[in-house]
């Protein structure tokens, strides 16, 4: 019941719907008591040969009225109660989504997309069930159950009622029990299914290996045993699932047996009439649903509570980076200074003793091995995390004196792992500036060296990207994400190893354009392939988070250290790669 308390904010907010809905639900419960009463009455009239046409018409009209009225009321309470629960689902989903947009990268590193999706789908569904079916089963089992029992006891016989009810609690108990067993087993069946899913995913991605080694048969038999497990886990579900109906049959059968046996005794003693006995059994039939509902109710709120707790825990995660009071609202523009004594993250790796001054309009190149801290250094500008010892300044002010929104207005960052949305190419380029004109979009695309590719697609800039659309190569995706950043014409542009999948000639073209178009603006480029850094005004080489070499391209070549060696090797290898072109 705790979940109802936790959700009380919503019940209060929707008190009119819930209040009316519950009232109508009770009304419907009361109406369902009428037909059995009429049955009893008619049976007695027939039994006593007292039936007349008028009486028959009278009661049948009442029945018809009850039927139509119930139909309307049933429809209304559904709209009210289920409608409210659907609305709750919508509200929670929107809250979660907007909460997600506030979470920083560390939040996403700790959680898998699949899990977050599960919270936003399954958990919300369970809460929705609690606020809908949960309320229904509670109200129905209590009102309908008590109405029926009270009617049976008052209008027929309380002794017979007590006797007939003996087996009933067992049904509520059993369905609750089965329900929770089912839930657990269903959980492991789901797990087995998702293991099967992973297996298929793996098989399809690894098909080349399988074919190369000729292991199709083995893959098939591995799949077979995996799917055996799915069957086994599902059979465990079926074993419990199959218990429901027989249990109901037995309990209800016993209940009927008791009421007919003892009811007959009461009829003979003339404590009740035969018509009353008939309506008694019909009332008994009406009790099945409240009993089942009572069992279900506990399952629904058990799941609802766990789910709602999970959702709340997610919503309680605090925003990591918050603006300080009085932060500068205008986007910064000017020199960039990295002044970092020590910055560690994830325990070990980090940056040490880094001082770099980039005058406005200059380009900084950052080189180094994988894991040397290139990406981390460039990302400090984004203020994804706060630096322990040291600071990063833009326009002479530390980053945290700016509102984050203002800061990001000045910066465009192109990450290594390009991410595109399932939208048109134009929409993807204009992602950061949806109001951009077509001309600007084309200009950005041309600057990123992707325009030619785009106009070759049948639908040009309106081509869809993603599973349902065209499949882009890694280089094309990279260039699209560069275009996306260039469209903003940002004060500071960061290319974080984002030219790696672009061929040498296109790289050259992009760098040339950047140089021309961004004369008065700051650019930071990190790269594994050093040809991307040639043009930079200053290049620093990182090794284990420290600066090991710095200078411009020519100076670094003269030093003949890591940079120079790496540069030469890469030059040769690119000759080989492009070898055919020059032959």
Partner 1 sequence: MLDKHKHLMHPLPQKEVLKRLLVYTAAHKKMIAAAMVLLIGGTAADLAGPILVQIFIDDYLTPRNLAAGALTALASAYLFLYAGSAVMNYFQSYMFQKIALAIIQQLRIDVFEKVEKLGLSFFDQFPAGGLISRITNDTEQVKELYITVLAIFVQNIVFLVGIFAAMFYLNPQLAAFALFILPVILCVIFLYRKYSAVYYAEMSEKLSDLNARLNESIQGMAVIQMFRQERRMNREFSGINQSHHNAWLKSMKLDGLLLRPAVDLISILALILVLTYFGITSFDSPVEIGIIYAFVNYLDRFFEPVNQIMQRLSLFQQAMISAGRVFRLMDHDEPGPVQKPKKDLKIQDGNIEFSRVSFSYTEGERVLKDISFQVKKGEMLAIVGHTGSGKSSIINALMRFYEIDAGNILIDGHSVDTFPENELRKNIGLVLQDAFMFTGDMKSNINLYDQSISEKKLLQAVKDAGAETFIQKLSGGLAHEVGERGSTLSTGERQLLSFARTIVRDPRILILDEATASVDTETETEIQKALERAREGRTTIAVAHRLSTIRNADHILVLKEGSIAEEGTHETLIAQKGIYERMYRLQKGGG
Q: 513-542 mask for partner 1 (x: CB under 8 A)?
A: ---------------x--------------
Binding mask 458-497 for partner 1 (x = CB under 8 A): ---------x---x---------x--x---x---------
* β-pairing verdict for 336-344 and 350-358: antiparallel
Residue 76 or 153: the one with the smaller Cβ distance to partner 1 is: 76
Q: List the one residue from 422, 437, 438, 512 that touches partner 1 (CB under 8 A).
A: 422
Instruction: Please give the residues from 142 up to 171 whose contact with partner 1 meets the rule CB under 8 A.
Output: none
DSSP letters spanning 128-146: HHIIIIIHHHHHIIIIIHH
- State the binding string over 196-215 for partner 1 (x if CB under 8 A, else -): xxxxxxxxxxxxxxxxxxxx
412 is a site residue for partner 1 (CB under 8 A): yes
Applying CB under 8 A, the site for partner 1 has a residue count of: 145
In whole angstroms, what is the distance from residue 119 CA to residue 64 CA? 46
CB of 85 to partner 1, least distance (A): 10
Select the span of 44-52, 137-145, 322-330, 386-394 touching partner 1 (CB under 8 A).
44-52
Nearer to partner 1, 78 or 341 (CB): 78
Least separation in angstroms between CB 155 and partner 1: 17
- Write each residue from 107 to 126 as x if it is in contact with partner 1 (CB under 8 A), else as -, in one continuous string: -x----x--xx--xx-----
Using CB atoms within 10 Å of the CB of residue 8, give its burial: 0 to 12 exposed, 13 to 18 middle, 19+ buried. Answer: exposed
Of 103 and 393, which has the nearer Cβ to partner 1?
A: 103
SS3 521: coil
Query: In sequence order, which residues have a C-beta less than 8 Å from that of residue 160 and are 6 or more positions away?
Result: 152, 259, 262, 263, 266, 272, 280
Q: Identify any residues that bridge with 210 across adjacent strands, giving them in sequence order.
A: none
> Using CB under 8 A, which residues numbered 249 to 278 contact partner 1?
249-250, 253-254, 256-257, 260-261, 264, 267-268, 274-275, 278
Rounded-to-integer distance, Cα 544 and Cα 366, Å: 13
Question: Given the complex with partner 1, which of 139 and 382 has the nearer CB atom?
Answer: 382
Q: Of 342 and 534, which has the nearer Cβ to partner 1? A: 534
Nearer of residues 49 and 516 to partner 1, judged by Cβ: 49
Task: Give, in order, the Cα–Cα distances in Å from 318 to each of 43, 95, 172, 218, 432.
Answer: 68, 14, 42, 48, 25
Report, in Å, the least distance between residue 352 CB and partner 1.
21
How far apart CA 52 and CA 132 sit, in angstroms, is 45
Comparison of 5 and 213: residue with beta carbon closer to partner 1: 213
The strand ranges marked E within 236-334 are none
Per residue, the 3-state secondary structure of 348-367, as one string, reads CCEEEEEEEEECCCCEEEEE
Which residue from 230, 291, 367, 532 is in contact with partner 1, where contact means CB under 8 A?
230
Burial of 23-37, coded b for 16+ CB within 10 Å and e otherwise, reads ebbbebbebbbbbbb
Among 106, 419, 455, 462, binds partner 1 (CB under 8 A): 419
Residue from 2, 5, 16, 75 touching partner 1 (CB under 8 A): that is 75
Q: For the chain, state the CA radius of gyration.
A: 36
- Binding residue for partner 1, selected from 12, 224, 439, 516, defined by CB under 8 A: 224
Is the CB of residue 428 less than 8 Å from the CB of residue 460? no
């Amino acid at each position: 019941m705790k979940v109802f308390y936790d959700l009380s904010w919503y019940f209060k907010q929707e008190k009119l719907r819930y209040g009316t809905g519950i009232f109508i639900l009770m009304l419907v419960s009361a109406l369902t008591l009428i037909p059995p009463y009429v049955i009893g009455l008619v049976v007695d009239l027939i039994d006593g040969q007292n039936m007349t046409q008028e009486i028959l018409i009278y009661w049948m009209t009442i029945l018809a009225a009850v039927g139509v009225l119930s139909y309307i009321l049933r429809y209304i309470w559904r709209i009210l109660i289920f409608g409210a629960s659907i609305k709750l689902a919508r509200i929670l989903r929107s809250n979660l989504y907007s909460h997600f947009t506030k979470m920083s990268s560390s939040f996403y590193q700790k959680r898998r997309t699949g899990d977050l999706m599960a919270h936003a789908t399954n958990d919300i569904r369970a809460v929705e069930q609690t606020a809908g079916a949960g309320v229904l089963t509670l109200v129905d089992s209590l009102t309908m159950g008590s109405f029926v029992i009270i009617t049976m006891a008052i209008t027929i016989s309380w002794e017979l009622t007590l006797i007939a009810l003996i087996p009933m609690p067992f049904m509520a108990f059993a369905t609750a029990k089965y329900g929770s067993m089912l839930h657990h087993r269903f959980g492991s069946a789901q797990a087995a299914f998702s293991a099967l899913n992973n297996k298929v995913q793996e098989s399809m991605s690894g098909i080349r290996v399988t074919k190369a080694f000729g292991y199709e048969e083995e893959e098939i038999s591995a799949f077979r045993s995996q799917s055996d497990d799915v069957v086994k886990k599902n059979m465990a579900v079926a074993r419990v699932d199959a218990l429901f109906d027989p249990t109901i049959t037995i309990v209800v059968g016993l209940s009927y047996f008791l009421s007919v046996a003892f009811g007959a005794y009461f009829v003979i003693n003339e404590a009740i009439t035969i018509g009353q006995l008939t309506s008694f059994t019909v009332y008994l039939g009406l009790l099945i649903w409240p009993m089942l509902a009572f069992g279900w109710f506990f399952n629904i709120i058990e799941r609802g509570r766990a789910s709602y707790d999970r959702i709340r825990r997610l919503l309680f995660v605090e925003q990591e980076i918050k603006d300080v009071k009085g932060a500068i609202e205008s986007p910064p523009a000017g020199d960039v200074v990295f002044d970092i004594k020590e910055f560690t993250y994830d325990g070990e790796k980090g940056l040490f003793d880094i001082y770099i001054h980039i005058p406005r309009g200059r380009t900084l190149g950052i080189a180094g091995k994988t894991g040397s801290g290139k990406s981390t250094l460039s990302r400090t500008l984004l203020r994804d995390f706060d630096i322990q010892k040291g600071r990063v300044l833009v326009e002479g002010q530390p980053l945290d004196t700016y509102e984050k929104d203002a800061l990001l207005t000045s910066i465009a960052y192109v990450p290594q792992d390009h991410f595109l949305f399932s939208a048109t190419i134009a929409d993807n380029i204009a992602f950061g500036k949806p109001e951009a004109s077509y001309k600007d979009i084309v200009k950005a695309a041309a600057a990123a060296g992707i325009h030619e590719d785009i106009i070759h697609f049948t639908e040009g800039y309106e081509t869809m990207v993603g599973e349902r659309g065209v499949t882009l190569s890694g280089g094309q995706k990279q260039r699209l994400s560069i275009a996306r950043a260039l469209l903003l014409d940002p004060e500071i542009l960061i290319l974080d190893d984002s030219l790696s999948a672009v061929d040498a000639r296109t790289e050259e073209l992009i760098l040339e354009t950047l140089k021309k178009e961004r004369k008065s603006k700051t650019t930071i480029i990190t790269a594994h392939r050093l040809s991307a850094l040639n043009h930079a005004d200053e290049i620093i080489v990182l090794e284990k988070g420290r600066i090991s070499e710095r200078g411009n391209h020519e100076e670094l070549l003269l030093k003949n250290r890591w940079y120079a060696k790496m540069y030469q090797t890469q030059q040769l290898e690119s000759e080989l790669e492009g070898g055919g072109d020059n032959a």
